[in-house]
A = this chain, B = another copy of it.
């Protein structure tokens, strides 16, 4: 149903590494670990859940403070998105895409933190922007997040 193929962890890691090196930044071992955790997870994870992932699945101790810094780095490289509403983080689902990314919107399941990255029609975004500007405000980002329930978690 999604518009692009699901990305494999190894493929995305490889692409992420070449992306970083083309920008003169480094995808270090620890950074790979955090990104791996997010790529392998089917849901959004918190910084502290990522330290647990590293400990339990990779046998690597990574303090939460380091995870926060690494997440900040990965977000700067557009490899990871921070979800304000959920206070959690997800891997960008378009790491493997060649084309320029449109701004994503996120549907976040309030119950299980499964996340779906969608692209809302431009016309919808435009009229939303109009409503907002009518109130003398401006959207801080076109990356919108919506609290949802996924189909497994409907009440």
Q: Given known contacts A120-B128, A140-B147, what 6 new A-B pairs fall within 8 Å (CB)?
A: A107-B135, A116-B135, A116-B136, A132-B148, A139-B148, A144-B146
CA distance A117 to B127 in the complex (A): 17
Q: How many positions in chain A have a CB within 8 Å of any CB in the partner chain?
A: 31
Known contacts A120-B128, A124-B124; A149 and B140 CB within 8 A of each other: yes
Contacts of A137 in B (CB 8 A): 107, 109, 116, 146, 148-151
Q: Nearest Cβ in chain B — how far from A79, in angstroms?
A: 22
The answer to whether A139 and B146 have CB atoms under 8 Å apart is yes
The answer to whether B151 and A132 have CB atoms under 8 Å apart is no
A22 CB-CB contact with B under 8 Å: no
